[in-house]
Structure 1
């Protein structure tokens, strides 16, 4: 199961069985689901079998607000992380609770995981090339790291500290 599909299952656990049984294109199954779940099941079907078509009009017809934002975020992530068709992302939208962390949030994450870093130390290590390059820079030069980058660095640091 693709990571983007797993994100759908995290939000809609009852769709897991349809993905596991590959019954996401079964009209009998689709007809039993409410429109939002049906749309996400079909979107996940596209992620699993991209040679099949996905009708974007479903997003317009059945999703709004946070559901539409989630679908668009999943589509972007799919093309960046699963297909690598977007290798150098130009566009990203960052909001509270997104999976991108600024320098302060990066340092807080590390500290919360028992790796003692404050903002200044993290910035100094970044300047020395000991911290991964930022995944995203916004107009003002603000650096952001994807949560997966932060988690990988945290594990690397934990292992390094254990070996000392």
Structure 2
């Protein structure tokens, strides 16, 4: 009975199994090559954080939908971007539409032909912030200020002021009221 089951299952195996395996292997190799290319581009790009391009009057192409359009290319290798557009003549910020085409280009749209400076900033760029906090758990370190250390310093200043005040009062009293 076992042999009959095996024979039935073998009859159901497609004849072109080797061809299918080769197709899968080819797809895997293609995907690996694409990923390695993307990794190489990212490594070569290093710290690509921004790109600048000027759109001149001649760069604009007529567009039936929005008047005119121009393509801006950058080497940031991402679609997570921030775009800032400045009128080259007036130096004012321009609010205009743009469309992300791919990882390296965007399309700017405008109703009129105007010279623009386009700044494309990588939204994936690493940013560092300096945080200033009071840490009550780290009292002993000289570079860290805890609320306890702050209160101690204020108390010392208050004691010094009280001592100075009493010296001033006794000096004034001694000078005004001879003994």
Instruction: Report the TM-score, using the length of structure 2 for normalisation.
Output: 0.21
Greater per-residue strand proportion: 2
TM-score normalised by length of structure 1: 0.22
Structure number with greater CO (CA < 8 Å, separation at least 6) is: 2
| Higher-helix-fraction structure | 1
Larger Rg: 2
